[in-house]
């Protein structure tokens, strides 16, 4: 059966480098895998009232329900994110918060997760990635330990067709996807046992 990977891009910008990276990395998954960007732009800002059974006049937005169902149906998730003010962009934090409720049915729970961060400077979104890992640690999401993927100077990564031009970077990212896929396979086996 085909395995599904939800790819979440931590940027809403039209020309986002994170999105360009995500589009490339999606093509590195092996046969039997389907990786797709799950859009987070239209998720209303997280408000616990929507999930609070005691608040009866604010029903759960359909965008929350759709997003949670998509994540729960996935076999793994891949975050590709920018860095804003030394942490993850608000759109990504919002999506994480939405997936984290209700407590009895957390969409992220135990889901294998890959993380790629980037920045236009040399740090590769280090602080963003560390903050993302901190949030995800709450949900027991296994993630490839090494290598960590920090892509610096992201505007220089692409050729004129938005493909990643450095063979070394492509190999590095392909290897990371192999590791993520191994983790997804192991997790799936564990779930079946």
Ligand X SMILES: Cc1cc2nc3c(=O)[nH]c(=O)nc-3n(C[C@H](O)[C@H](O)[C@H](O)COP(=O)(O)O)c2cc1C
Return residues touching ligand X (CB under 6 A).
11, 13, 16-18, 82-86, 119-121, 123
Q: Is 156 helix (H, G, I), strand (E, B) or coil?
A: helix
Whole-number Cα distances in Å, 187 to 6, 36, 38, 112, 180: 16, 20, 21, 7, 10
When the beta carbons of 9 and 106 are compared against ligand X, the nearer one is 9
CA neighbours closer than 13 Å in the CB half-sphere of residue 78: 32
When the beta carbons of 123 and 178 are compared against ligand X, the nearer one is 123
User: Could you tell me the smallest distance in angstroms from the CB atom of residue 117 to ligand X?
Assistant: 9
Closest-by-Cβ residue to ligand X is 82
Rounded Cα distance, 150 and 135, in Å: 18
When the beta carbons of 78 and 183 are compared against ligand X, the nearer one is 78
User: Could you tell me the smallest distance in angstroms from the CB atom of residue 120 to ligand X?
Assistant: 5
User: Could you tell me the smallest distance in angstroms from the CB atom of residue 73 to ligand X?
Assistant: 26
Whole-number Cα distances in Å, 163 to 19, 131, 159: 12, 28, 5
- CA angle, 57 then 60 then 65, to 5°: 165
C-alpha 138, offset from chain centre:
15
When the beta carbons of 24 and 119 are compared against ligand X, the nearer one is 119
* Cα–Cα nearest to 96, from 135, 150, 131: 135
User: Could you tell me the smallest distance in angstroms from the CB atom of residue 59 to ligand X?
Assistant: 32
When the beta carbons of 11 and 143 are compared against ligand X, the nearer one is 11
User: Could you tell me the smallest distance in angstroms from the CB atom of residue 12 to ligand X?
Assistant: 8
């Amino acid at each position: 059966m085909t395995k599904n990977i939800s790819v979440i891009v931590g940027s809403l910008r039209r020309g986002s480098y994170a999105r360009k990276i995500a589009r490339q990395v999606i093509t590195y998954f092996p046969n039997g895998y389907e990786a797709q960007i799950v859009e987070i732009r239209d998720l209303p800002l997280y408000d616990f009232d929507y999930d609070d059974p005691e608040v009866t006049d604010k029903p759960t937005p359909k965008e929350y329900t759709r997003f949670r169902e998509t994540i729960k149906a996935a076999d793994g998730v891949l975050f590709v994110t920018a860095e804003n003010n030394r942490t993850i962009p608000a759109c990504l934090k919002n999506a994480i918060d939405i997936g984290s409720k209700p407590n009895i049915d957390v969409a992220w729970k135990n889901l294998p997760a890959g993380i790629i961060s980037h920045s236009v400077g040399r740090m590769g979104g280090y602080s963003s990635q560390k903050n993302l890992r901190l949030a995800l640690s709450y949900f027991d999401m296994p993630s490839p330990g090494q290598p960590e993927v920090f892509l610096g100077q992201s505007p220089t990564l692409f050729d004129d067709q938005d493909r990643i031009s450095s063979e070394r970077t492509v190999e590095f990212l392909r290897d990371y996807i192999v590791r993520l896929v191994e983790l997804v396979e192991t997790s799936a086996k564990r779930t079946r046992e």
